[in-house]
Structure 1
């Protein structure tokens, strides 16, 4: 993964200010894989993208991630540290082995059912979101998991007879659904990361989904505003341009700021 410089990171941050969460996630993914086109990034399985973003996070801000969660029982604010490497490694390993995390087809067979499916991609999630939120959505829209299943099914047969993908969600037994979910989780373990956090005050365990794109954007936003403040202070004190200030190492910038404060 190529390291992105401060000027490029600021450009990514600026471009994401007026975008929604999906647009920001795409910008971050492009920063993690600058050699990859937009269509290819949208075709990446969800867990593979998460692994890429965890890798970008480690490169930019280090291994230690600080996470804040509100207890579901007593509403106490909880803060704890996570190691970004432990979430990036499984999906990265699956992709390196050339498995389904890179777009292969998975098969589940049970009770006369044979279902071939692919892992959900970033584009699939965006399409499902549009289908549920669009003006043509029904008053009682189907479960997003059903829409996702219909999109990602390559083929499905019951006792040898083919079944159209759009009929699959309503016809599929719960046992086969469970097997599909388990197969997808094994192939793309970083697609959905849920933590269970025990509250130190009341002891209740609170489930918390870790959205690396949202977490990384929050960190990038804080970093960008700090860097722009540094630019403002140093430009005011020394008359340097933004590119000249960004070309300084963080350590050297900090030293000049300390000199300004002592003056």
Structure 2
């Protein structure tokens, strides 16, 4: 016996990015990345740091090495250093982005399925879930558990498969150009809330300055559903 479907005006699911979208963790990544650059005797440029936002760990380490003029370094060694340091920082310094917790609670209260779709690896996500709540998501897609990471559409397609919902009826919430590209390529409606880097105006993407005030009416509108009342 299957559960009654959600009202047609609701999204089939809401798919949340993590870093910079739900939690203000990009600043913690700043700390770890700048510390590693200093460990290697260099300084990470602003341009390289911005290019890392929303990318996989492997891609970020290649950007860091190239920026420092040390492309010969092993990305796996650098990634292990960052993993260990960021775990420490996540345990002590993870904070919600404005409006994120309120929106997540509203979505859950409405009975809309949710997924966490992140480029971060499972060990780090497990620490973050202590803040986010392990019962806040019906599915979790981590960067080290998919064949291709953002901006490839696979992470969002995987989330829709896990939730058994059509991706075209999903709303993805993202803070980075890389994440927005992934969600758009997958076929989701996209709500962008830029955090560390700007997102160019793009067809099919609705931008807000923060999630404060974002509600179920807005999510329905992204799918072209009429407001109630």
Q: Same fold (TM over 0.5)?
A: no
For this structure pair, what is the TM-score category when the shorter chain's length is used for normalisation?
Answer: under 0.3
Q: Which has the higher strand share?
A: 1
Q: Which has the higher helix share?
A: 1
| TM-score normalized by the length of structure 2 | 0.24
User: Higher Cα Rg: structure 1 or 2?
Assistant: 1
| TM-score normalized by the length of structure 1 | 0.22
